[in-house]
Protein backbone atom coordinates (compact mmCIF):
# COMPACT_ATOMS: atom_id res chain seq x y z
CA UNK A 1 0.00 0.00 0.00
CA UNK A 2 1.34 3.46 -0.91
CA UNK A 3 1.75 5.89 1.99
CA UNK A 4 -0.91 8.62 1.85
CA UNK A 5 0.38 12.21 1.74
CA UNK A 6 -1.11 15.49 2.85
CA UNK A 7 -0.16 19.03 1.84
CA UNK A 8 -0.84 21.78 4.37
CA UNK A 9 -1.33 25.29 2.98
CA UNK A 10 -2.51 28.07 5.23
CA UNK A 11 -3.29 31.79 5.47
CA UNK A 12 -3.87 32.49 1.79
CA UNK A 13 -5.33 35.95 2.57
CA UNK A 14 -7.04 36.42 -0.80
CA UNK A 15 -8.39 39.94 -1.29
CA UNK A 16 -11.46 41.39 -2.98
CA UNK A 17 -10.02 41.22 -6.50
CA UNK A 18 -7.36 39.33 -8.45
CA UNK A 19 -5.01 42.32 -8.30
CA UNK A 20 -5.31 42.90 -4.52
CA UNK A 21 -1.94 43.20 -2.79
CA UNK A 22 -1.05 42.45 0.83
CA UNK A 23 2.22 43.98 2.13
CA UNK A 24 3.74 43.89 -1.34
CA UNK A 25 2.54 40.40 -2.26
CA UNK A 26 -0.32 39.44 -4.55
CA UNK A 27 -1.93 36.54 -2.62
CA UNK A 28 -3.24 34.82 -5.76
CA UNK A 29 0.18 34.88 -7.39
CA UNK A 30 1.87 33.59 -4.24
CA UNK A 31 -0.72 30.79 -3.83
CA UNK A 32 -0.18 29.78 -7.48
CA UNK A 33 3.60 29.84 -6.87
CA UNK A 34 3.12 27.50 -3.90
CA UNK A 35 0.98 25.15 -6.01
CA UNK A 36 3.69 25.22 -8.72
CA UNK A 37 6.36 24.38 -6.13
CA UNK A 38 4.18 21.50 -4.91
CA UNK A 39 3.88 20.22 -8.49
CA UNK A 40 7.64 20.49 -8.96
CA UNK A 41 8.23 18.48 -5.80
CA UNK A 42 5.95 15.71 -7.06
CA UNK A 43 3.05 16.36 -4.64
CA UNK A 44 0.65 17.78 -7.26
CA UNK A 45 -1.91 14.99 -6.91
CA UNK A 46 -2.09 15.10 -3.11
CA UNK A 47 -4.93 16.48 -1.04
CA UNK A 48 -4.54 20.10 0.09
CA UNK A 49 -5.55 21.03 3.63
CA UNK A 50 -6.28 24.79 3.74
CA UNK A 51 -6.38 25.80 7.40
CA UNK A 52 -8.05 29.19 7.45
CA UNK A 53 -7.64 32.84 6.49
CA UNK A 54 -8.41 31.73 2.96
CA UNK A 55 -9.68 35.28 2.56
CA UNK A 56 -7.99 38.15 4.35
CA UNK A 57 -11.14 40.26 4.14
CA UNK A 58 -14.07 37.80 4.53
CA UNK A 59 -15.34 38.71 1.05
CA UNK A 60 -17.28 36.45 -1.31
CA UNK A 61 -14.93 37.34 -4.19
CA UNK A 62 -12.00 35.72 -2.37
CA UNK A 63 -13.86 32.42 -2.16
CA UNK A 64 -15.16 32.64 -5.74
CA UNK A 65 -11.60 33.20 -7.02
CA UNK A 66 -10.24 30.37 -4.86
CA UNK A 67 -12.99 27.97 -5.94
CA UNK A 68 -12.28 28.68 -9.63
CA UNK A 69 -8.54 28.37 -9.21
CA UNK A 70 -8.71 25.05 -7.33
CA UNK A 71 -11.23 23.67 -9.82
CA UNK A 72 -9.08 24.69 -12.80
CA UNK A 73 -6.05 23.06 -11.23
CA UNK A 74 -8.09 19.93 -10.52
CA UNK A 75 -7.29 19.82 -6.79
CA UNK A 76 -8.68 17.73 -3.95
CA UNK A 77 -9.21 20.06 -1.02
CA UNK A 78 -10.23 20.16 2.62
CA UNK A 79 -10.64 23.53 4.34
CA UNK A 80 -11.58 25.17 7.61
CA UNK A 81 -12.14 28.82 8.61
CA UNK A 82 -9.79 31.33 10.23
CA UNK A 83 -10.36 34.65 11.97
CA UNK A 84 -10.36 36.58 8.68
CA UNK A 85 -12.96 34.27 7.12
CA UNK A 86 -16.74 34.06 7.20
CA UNK A 87 -17.86 30.43 7.30
CA UNK A 88 -21.26 31.06 5.68
CA UNK A 89 -19.59 32.74 2.68
CA UNK A 90 -17.05 29.92 2.40
CA UNK A 91 -19.81 27.31 2.32
CA UNK A 92 -21.70 29.30 -0.29
CA UNK A 93 -18.90 30.22 -2.68
CA UNK A 94 -16.46 27.29 -2.32
CA UNK A 95 -19.24 25.38 -3.98
CA UNK A 96 -17.05 22.72 -5.62
CA UNK A 97 -15.40 21.93 -2.26
CA UNK A 98 -18.04 21.30 0.44
CA UNK A 99 -16.85 21.60 4.05
CA UNK A 100 -16.04 18.24 5.61
CA UNK A 101 -15.40 17.54 9.28
CA UNK A 102 -13.50 14.37 8.53
CA UNK A 103 -11.20 14.01 5.54
CA UNK A 104 -10.27 10.48 4.54
CA UNK A 105 -6.63 9.90 3.60
CA UNK A 106 -6.11 6.22 2.95
CA UNK A 107 -6.20 4.65 6.39
CA UNK A 108 -5.57 8.06 8.02
CA UNK A 109 -8.11 10.80 8.74
CA UNK A 110 -7.99 14.55 9.41
CA UNK A 111 -10.54 16.06 11.77
CA UNK A 112 -11.17 19.80 11.17
CA UNK A 113 -12.25 22.11 13.97
CA UNK A 114 -13.28 25.77 13.91
CA UNK A 115 -11.29 27.87 16.41
CA UNK A 116 -12.36 31.24 14.99
CA UNK A 117 -14.74 33.71 16.59
CA UNK A 118 -16.33 36.85 15.24
CA UNK A 119 -14.80 40.21 16.06
CA UNK A 120 -11.42 39.08 17.41
CA UNK A 121 -8.26 37.53 15.99
CA UNK A 122 -7.97 35.28 19.06
CA UNK A 123 -8.88 31.59 19.13
CA UNK A 124 -11.61 29.80 21.09
CA UNK A 125 -13.35 26.45 20.80
CA UNK A 126 -17.10 26.70 21.29
CA UNK A 127 -19.01 24.05 23.22
CA UNK A 128 -20.35 22.84 19.90
CA UNK A 129 -16.84 22.33 18.47
CA UNK A 130 -15.76 20.42 21.58
CA UNK A 131 -18.82 18.17 21.31
CA UNK A 132 -18.02 17.65 17.63
CA UNK A 133 -14.48 16.59 18.52
CA UNK A 134 -15.85 14.05 21.05
CA UNK A 135 -18.42 12.68 18.66
CA UNK A 136 -16.23 12.33 15.57
CA UNK A 137 -13.24 10.95 17.45
CA UNK A 138 -15.35 8.17 18.92
CA UNK A 139 -15.97 6.98 15.33
CA UNK A 140 -12.31 7.23 14.30
CA UNK A 141 -10.75 4.92 16.87
CA UNK A 142 -9.59 2.43 14.26
CA UNK A 143 -7.11 4.70 12.44
CA UNK A 144 -4.43 7.36 12.93
CA UNK A 145 -5.87 10.88 13.08
CA UNK A 146 -4.49 14.40 12.64
CA UNK A 147 -6.38 17.36 14.11
CA UNK A 148 -6.46 20.64 12.23
CA UNK A 149 -7.68 24.09 13.26
CA UNK A 150 -6.68 27.67 12.52
CA UNK A 151 -5.33 28.86 15.86
CA UNK A 152 -2.41 27.54 17.81
CA UNK A 153 -3.14 26.15 21.30
CA UNK A 154 0.35 26.90 22.74
CA UNK A 155 2.74 29.87 22.67
CA UNK A 156 5.31 29.97 19.89
CA UNK A 157 7.59 32.63 21.39
CA UNK A 158 6.09 35.73 19.76
CA UNK A 159 4.01 37.57 22.34
CA UNK A 160 1.68 39.52 20.01
CA UNK A 161 0.73 36.22 18.32
CA UNK A 162 0.67 34.27 21.57
CA UNK A 163 -2.16 36.54 22.74
CA UNK A 164 -4.27 34.91 20.02
CA UNK A 165 -3.74 31.35 21.18
CA UNK A 166 -6.87 29.32 21.94
CA UNK A 167 -8.05 30.49 25.35
CA UNK A 168 -9.70 27.19 26.33
CA UNK A 169 -7.22 24.84 24.65
CA UNK A 170 -7.13 22.64 27.75
CA UNK A 171 -10.77 21.65 27.18
CA UNK A 172 -9.81 20.21 23.80
CA UNK A 173 -6.55 18.71 25.08
CA UNK A 174 -8.47 16.76 27.72
CA UNK A 175 -10.59 15.22 24.96
CA UNK A 176 -7.71 14.51 22.57
CA UNK A 177 -5.42 12.93 25.12
CA UNK A 178 -7.97 10.14 25.74
CA UNK A 179 -7.42 8.98 22.13
CA UNK A 180 -4.14 7.21 21.52
CA UNK A 181 -4.67 7.30 17.75
CA UNK A 182 -4.21 11.09 17.55
CA UNK A 183 -0.79 11.58 16.00
CA UNK A 184 -0.49 15.35 15.75
CA UNK A 185 -2.11 18.78 15.51
CA UNK A 186 -1.75 21.12 12.51
CA UNK A 187 -2.54 24.82 12.77
CA UNK A 188 -2.22 28.11 10.87
CA UNK A 189 -2.57 31.79 11.85
CA UNK A 190 1.03 32.39 12.93
CA UNK A 191 2.42 32.69 9.38
CA UNK A 192 5.62 30.81 10.21
CA UNK A 193 7.09 27.38 10.67
CA UNK A 194 6.96 26.04 14.23
CA UNK A 195 7.24 22.52 15.61
CA UNK A 196 6.63 21.80 19.26
CA UNK A 197 4.73 19.73 21.77
CA UNK A 198 1.25 20.47 23.12
CA UNK A 199 1.56 18.31 26.20
CA UNK A 200 2.16 14.90 24.64
CA UNK A 201 0.90 15.85 21.17
CA UNK A 202 3.25 16.94 18.37
CA UNK A 203 2.14 20.33 17.04
CA UNK A 204 2.99 21.87 13.67
CA UNK A 205 2.40 25.32 12.21
CA UNK A 206 3.21 26.24 8.64
CA UNK A 207 4.38 29.33 6.76
CA UNK A 208 1.65 31.27 4.96
CA UNK A 209 1.18 30.92 1.19
CA UNK A 210 1.41 34.75 1.25
CA UNK A 211 3.39 36.82 3.80
CA UNK A 212 5.40 35.51 6.78
CA UNK A 213 5.56 37.04 10.27
CA UNK A 214 8.92 37.66 11.88
CA UNK A 215 9.82 34.73 14.14
CA UNK A 216 10.51 35.36 17.82
CA UNK A 217 9.25 38.95 17.61
CA UNK A 218 7.15 40.43 20.43
CA UNK A 219 5.63 43.03 18.11
CA UNK A 220 4.08 42.72 14.67
CA UNK A 221 6.67 42.34 11.92
CA UNK A 222 6.93 40.81 8.45
CA UNK A 223 9.87 38.66 7.46
CA UNK A 224 11.42 38.38 4.00
CA UNK A 225 10.75 34.63 3.70
CA UNK A 226 8.93 33.52 0.54
CA UNK A 227 5.52 31.78 0.44
CA UNK A 228 5.58 28.24 1.78
CA UNK A 229 3.75 25.03 2.62
CA UNK A 230 4.17 21.83 4.66
CA UNK A 231 4.06 18.23 3.46
CA UNK A 232 3.19 15.11 5.45
CA UNK A 233 4.17 11.58 4.43
CA UNK A 234 1.77 9.39 6.41
CA UNK A 235 2.97 5.85 6.88
CA UNK A 236 0.28 3.17 6.83
CA UNK A 237 1.77 1.91 10.13
CA UNK A 238 0.74 5.17 11.88
CA UNK A 239 4.12 6.96 11.86
CA UNK A 240 4.77 10.00 9.71
CA UNK A 241 7.40 12.46 8.53
CA UNK A 242 6.82 16.14 7.77
CA UNK A 243 8.71 19.16 6.53
CA UNK A 244 8.32 22.69 5.23
CA UNK A 245 9.18 23.93 1.74
CA UNK A 246 9.14 27.34 0.09
CA UNK A 247 8.35 28.69 -3.39
CA UNK A 248 11.97 29.62 -3.93
CA UNK A 249 11.64 31.23 -7.37
CA UNK A 250 8.83 33.62 -6.41
CA UNK A 251 9.82 37.11 -7.53
CA UNK A 252 7.54 39.39 -5.47
CA UNK A 253 9.16 40.78 -2.32
CA UNK A 254 7.16 41.42 0.86
CA UNK A 255 7.22 44.92 2.28
CA UNK A 256 8.98 44.20 5.58
CA UNK A 257 8.29 47.76 6.76
CA UNK A 258 4.51 47.27 6.78
CA UNK A 259 3.03 48.07 10.16
CA UNK A 260 -0.11 45.93 9.72
CA UNK A 261 -1.61 43.36 7.39
FE1 LIG B 1 -3.47 34.74 8.64
FE1 LIG C 1 -5.49 34.09 11.33
**Res 169: pLDDT:** 98
**Res 4: pLDDT:** 84
Query: Rounded to the nearest whole angstrom, what is the distance from the C-alpha of residue 254 to the centroid of ligand 2?
Result: 18
Residue 261, domain member (yes or no) = no
What's the total number of domains in the chain?
1
Tens digit of each residue's pLDDT (9 = 90 or more) over 19-50: 999 999 999 999 999 999 999 999 999 999 99
* Domain encompassing residue 11: 5-246
Residue 14, domain member (yes or no) = yes
**Res 94: pLDDT:** 98
**Res 208: pLDDT:** 98
With 90 as the cut, is the pLDDT of residue 163 above it?
yes
Query: Rounded to the nearest whole angstrom, what is the distance from the C-alpha of residue 107 to the centroid of ligand 1?
Result: 30
Neighbours of ion ligand 2 (CB under 5 A): 53, 82-83, 189
**Res 199: pLDDT:** 98
Q: How far apart, in Å, are the Cα atoms of 256 and each of 19, 84, 194, 232?
A: 20, 21, 20, 30
- The pLDDT mean for the chain works out to 97
With 80 as the cut, is the pLDDT of residue 256 above it?
yes
Instruction: Return the percentage of the chain with pLDDT > 90, whole number.
Output: 95
Residue 180, domain member (yes or no) = yes
Phi (first) and psi of residue 254, to 5 degrees: -70, 150
Mean pLDDT of 136-156: 97
Residues 6+ apart with CB under 8 A from 241: 232, 233, 235
Query: Rounded to the nearest whole angstrom, what is the distance from the C-alpha of residue 136 to the centroid of ligand 1?
Result: 27
**Res 223: pLDDT:** 97
Which numbered ligand comes closest to the C-alpha of 11?
Answer: 1
With 90 as the cut, is the pLDDT of residue 71 above it?
yes
CATH assignment of the domain containing 117: 3.60.21.10
Residue 255, domain member (yes or no) = no
Instruction: Return the percentage of the chain with pLDDT > 70, whole number.
Output: 100
CA–CA dist 185, 232 (Å, integer): 12
Residue 260, domain member (yes or no) = no
Residue 253, domain member (yes or no) = no
Mean pLDDT of 79-107: 97
253 band by pLDDT with thresholds 50, 70 and 90: very high
Residue 256, domain member (yes or no) = no
Mean pLDDT of 214-233: 97
Residue 217, domain member (yes or no) = yes
Amino acid sequence: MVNPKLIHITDLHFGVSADSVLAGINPLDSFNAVLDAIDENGFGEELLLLSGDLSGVAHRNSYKMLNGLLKNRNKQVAWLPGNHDRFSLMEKYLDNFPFQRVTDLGNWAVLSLDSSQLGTPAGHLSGEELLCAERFLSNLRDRPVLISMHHCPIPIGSSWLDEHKIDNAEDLYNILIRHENIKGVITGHVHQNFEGLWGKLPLYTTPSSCIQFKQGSDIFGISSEPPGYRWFDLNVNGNFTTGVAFASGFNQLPNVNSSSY
